[in-house]
Amino acid sequence: MAEVVPISLRHRLQSKAFALLSVIFACMCLIVFYLVVVLHQSFLENNFVSRHKSVEQAFNNYLDRAEDEMRLITQDLSLNNYTSGRELDLLFSHHDALFFGELDFFYIEWSHGQHTMDPRARLFTQAQFRPLLQKGLINKWVTVTTEDNLVFLMYKKKIVSDEQRNIGFLYGFISLKENVTFASALLSSDQVAAVRISDKSGGTTQVLLEENKMDLEGTGKVLFSSWPLMSSVQADLELEVGQKTRALSGLVMKVLPFVLGVGFVMLVFYFLLMYQIRRYVFVPIEQMAYRSNKYLLPYKELLPLQQRAEADKTFIESKEQRFQLLTESVHCAIIFCNEVTEIEAINAEARELFPDATKARTIFDFMPISCHQNIQAALKGEVGVKFDITSEDQRRIYKWQAHSFVNESGYQGLLLIGRDMTKEISLIWQLEQLQPLSVAAEKRVNTEAMLSELTYLSRLPQHITAAQLRGWIALLTSVLDEIGNVDEEVTYLPFGELLAQESAHVVKVMGIEANRMLLDCPLEVGVQVVAVNTYLRSLMRVLFMMVMSNDMEERRLSIKSRGSDFELVVMHDMASRPLFFWMIKALLDSLEGEKKVLRHNALQLNFRLEEIETADDLTALSNKLCVAWVVNDYPNVSMVQESLAKFGVSVEKYASTDSFFTQASEVTKFDVVLISCDQDMDSQRNMTEALKLKYQRDKLPIIWLNSIFPKCVDPDVFSLVGCPSDYVLHKALLGASQLEGIMPILSNNQTNSWVIVGGSRVSKAIWHAELETYDLGVQWLADLSNYSAMLSYHPQASLVLLEPQPGLLLQAIQTSFPDVRFFSVQRWDEMPDNVAIFEMKQPYSGEQIRRFTEYVTQEV
């Protein structure tokens, strides 16, 4: 696996924040530049429109002034009858403004055929004007081009006398080439940089006027914009206006201070942000390493991490405690060492065996020298290292096994497990002296089988006590005695009764839990009465011993019958237990039976029993039978539940004795109460005594179901000891159902009975524990939905409400049962007036319940 390189969240945040702010800054710069360019372009467009209108207006104003000048000249010629040839002298003498007017020159065509030309015309062109006059339009400006390619604007106007007679035409000309006055008027109209007027008439473009300022060259970029020129000139004119504009670099330099200012602000914001994040986030996180775990973290986002760490810590501590309990309860000496044989952990039995272990540095300091080589071999990884240590001082013999493992540091550690074999070896020595067989040739074989059986028992994972071993030897001796017995005494028993007697005997003598094996014997097989002799009893005993004491995962004994032929299938481990193989073979030979080894460690036994009949005293159970089953700590729940389901009876299941007394139930009568337990026999006895006191009789329909043999059995109850089966359970239910049943809602004190309604399981447990000291008949209900079935037996009961109840329901109860009193420990909205209040605060205490009991007693 690749090594994970830790990263700094603060540096990662700084880099990501800097990158984000850089992107934001770049986007802002692009947006600013884009807006500046767009605004500049819009400004230029608006400016071009304004300048075009100004130049257009200047152009039209210039023509208007020229037209005014033409009217002045026409009026003068009309009013004054100038002598032919003297017109020009008199006009210029009367009107000095003609030298400074808008017209560059004019031309007079008289009706009598004479022509008068302004001498200024030759300053512009030497071409003949008569061909041009034909293009003139009265009171209209037209463009004309001379022979020498000079372009003029020509205006034609009639000369009318006082008698309204046409005496000639006056032609005014404005030069469009090198006309400084006209160009200056256009350029200075709106401070434009260049002006170009073009004529697009006839499908061609002809430049009429083009002028720009002298300082235009080398001053920057010039932009042009053209629009149609709206004027009185009879032509398709286009006006193109040019103006100087800043280059893009100029715009950038103009915006650059603002951009730099924004960049500086964002840089300052970045440092302030990093400072605040470090101050209010990372510094507190760094300080959390020095906080105590018992204090909650100040940040909600980190609470899941703390809760998970606390959960992991609790889980590790719990596993360590369970491991400590395991090492102290396995009855073995356990020592953990690291890679240099330093002691890391040692349990109490190992410390008792080696008192100097607490002072030693390594395991070699207190272990005998004879086992040092084995320990070193285990440290090198050798598998299956075993050795013995004999303690002369404590007179113990321990068999040790060494296992190597990889510890949390990644190095080779060592685990030493020592088991006290003193008693087993002593028993082996004693069994070597036993001679169970009368035939001398078979003594050696049976002795080896018994030694092999003892070796098997010594290697079982579960601890075998001395009492269990003595019981095993006693059972083994009884079987061996009966194998050689020639007594053929026969008794007649139901087959299920035989199984119950032998399983109870094995459980009692060996002290082993009956739930170690499953006895699968249908009821129709158990009720068959068979001839029972010593060989059949011994065979059943051997089978129970073998199944209860083996180390297999499935411990099962299945029994079937077809008439007089019986078939037994038992899960076995006879390959390592030849003693049982020999005993089963000897007993089957006496019963004239046969055996067959099946797959999956199953052994099938077949034999025939004579004089078989069915018992008459076992009848079918009523399907109306109601059984209350208190499970307690009984382990084999599924098998009992299956048997009860086969019988078709109604079962109310309770987890414990307290739940039986506190849990609400709609059952008005229990025909049988089945109380099961494993180790907690006190609860079984206490519940039986409580029921006897409550109902004031000893003969109650109570059945005890135990997985181990009880020290004292109540003679007034039906006790089931041994492996449970359909037969014994059916027989017990049938016998118990003959007695008067138990009514859970019936109390021996009708005038002093309580019904407690609602409350949590914790509240019920507290009230139940406190009210046990008072002479009260207490019933427990989750709610009052089925009050009529209960109050029919308690018409004068006191209803204690631990939780608010509907007011209409309480009034209906009061109407149906007027003698019932209501008491509440809390106040709620719409509480009826017939409810007496005695406020109590949770959690309920014994003193509060005592004062409440006195209050209710006085009120009643």
User: pTM of the prediction?
Assistant: 0.42
| Burial (CB count <10 Å: 0-12, 13-18, 19+), residue 385 | buried
> In whole angstroms, what is the distance from residue 542 CA to residue 475 CA?
9
Residue 436 phi, psi dihedral angles, 5° rounding: -75, -20
> In whole angstroms, what is the distance from residue 703 CA to residue 640 CA?
13
| Burial (CB count <10 Å: 0-12, 13-18, 19+), residue 45 | exposed
> In whole angstroms, what is the distance from residue 782 CA to residue 663 CA?
8
Taking CA atoms, 144 is separated from 180, 194, 814, in Å, by: 19, 23, 125
pLDDT at 292: 61
pLDDT at 673: 92
Q: Are 510 and 545 in contact (CB under 8 A)?
A: yes
**Residue 412 carries which side chain, given as an amino acid letter?**
Q
- Rg value, the chain, Cα: 61
Joined tokens for residue 166: 């046409």
Instruction: Please measure the distance between the N-terminal and C-terminal CA atoms of the chain and give it in whole angstroms.
Output: 78
Q: Which residues of 141-156 are buried (b: 16+ CB within 10 A; e: fewer)?
A: bbbbbbeeebbbbbbb
Rounded to the nearest angstrom, the gap between the alpha carbon of residue 237 and the centroid of all alpha carbons in its chain is 80
Pairing of strands 343-346, 491-494: unpaired
Q: How many CB atoms are closer than 10 A to CB 76?
A: 16
Torsion of CA 117, 123, 128, 131, to 10 degrees: -80
Q: Are 736 and 718 in contact (CB under 8 A)?
A: yes
Q: Which residues of 751-765 are buried (b: 16+ CB within 10 A; e: fewer)?
A: ebbbbbbbbeeebbe
> In whole angstroms, what is the distance from residue 129 CA to residue 846 CA?
137
What percent of the chain is modeled with pLDDT above 70? Answer: 81
Q: Are 823 and 798 in contact (CB under 8 A)?
A: yes
> In whole angstroms, what is the distance from residue 110 CA to residue 600 CA?
146
What percent of the chain is modeled with pLDDT above 90? Answer: 1
Taking CA atoms, 167 is separated from 73, 90, 334, 591, in Å, by: 14, 18, 147, 170
Q: Report which of 598, 596, 610 is spatially closest to residue 563, judged by C-alpha positions.
A: 610
> In whole angstroms, what is the distance from residue 496 CA to residue 489 CA?
20
**Residue 540 carries which side chain, given as an amino acid letter?**
M
> In whole angstroms, what is the distance from residue 12 CA to residue 16 CA?
6
| In 192-290, beta strands by DSSP E | 194-199, 206-212, 221-228, 237-245
Residue 554 phi, psi dihedral angles, 5° rounding: -110, 115
Report DSSP state, residue 602.
E
**Residue 699 carries which side chain, given as an amino acid letter?**
K
Size of the chain, expressed as the number of residues it contains: 860
Q: How many CB atoms are closer than 10 A to CB 844?
A: 18
Place of tokens 């003969």: 699
Q: What H or E segment, with its residue span, contains residue 544?
A: helix 534-549
> In whole angstroms, what is the distance from residue 266 CA to residue 25 CA?
8
Q: Report which of 263, 266, 257 is spatially closest to residue 36, judged by C-alpha positions.
A: 257
| In 727-770, beta strands by DSSP E | 753-757
**Residue 793 carries which side chain, given as an amino acid letter?**
Y
Residue 416 phi, psi dihedral angles, 5° rounding: -115, 125
Taking CA atoms, 542 is separated from 488, 547, 551, 580, in Å, by: 19, 9, 16, 7
Q: Are 668 and 745 in contact (CB under 8 A)?
A: yes
> Average pLDDT of each block of 10 consecutive residues along the chain (860 residues)?
64 84 87 78 68 79 84 77 62 59 81 80 82 85 86 86 82 82 74 78 77 60 71 79 65 78 87 85 72 62 74 80 74 86 86 85 86 87 85 81 81 86 79 47 51 68 69 79 71 86 83 74 86 86 82 79 85 70 83 81 82 60 85 84 86 82 72 88 81 77 84 83 84 87 60 78 81 75 75 77 88 87 87 86 84 80
> In whole angstroms, what is the distance from residue 403 CA to residue 416 CA?
7
**What residues pair up with 756 in beta bridges, in sequence order?**
780, 800
**Residue 612 carries which side chain, given as an amino acid letter?**
I
> In whole angstroms, what is the distance from residue 403 CA to residue 437 CA?
42
Q: Are 518 and 733 in contact (CB under 8 A)?
A: no
**Residue 120 carries which side chain, given as an amino acid letter?**
R
Rounded to the nearest angstrom, the gap between the alpha carbon of residue 346 and the centroid of all alpha carbons in its chain is 40
pLDDT at 2: 47
Residue 497 phi, psi dihedral angles, 5° rounding: -65, -40
Q: What H or E segment, with its residue span, contains residue 326?
A: helix 303-329
Q: Are 559 and 521 in contact (CB under 8 A)?
A: yes
φ/ψ region of 593 (left if φ > 0, alpha if ψ in -120 to 50, else beta) reads: beta
Rounded to the nearest angstrom, the gap between the alpha carbon of residue 599 and the centroid of all alpha carbons in its chain is 46
Residue range 264-300, pLDDT digits in tens: 888 888 888 888 888 877 777 777 666 665 555 666 7
Torsion of CA 459, 461, 466, 469, to 10 degrees: -60
Q: Report which of 515, 521, 558 is spatially closest to residue 721, judged by C-alpha positions.
A: 515
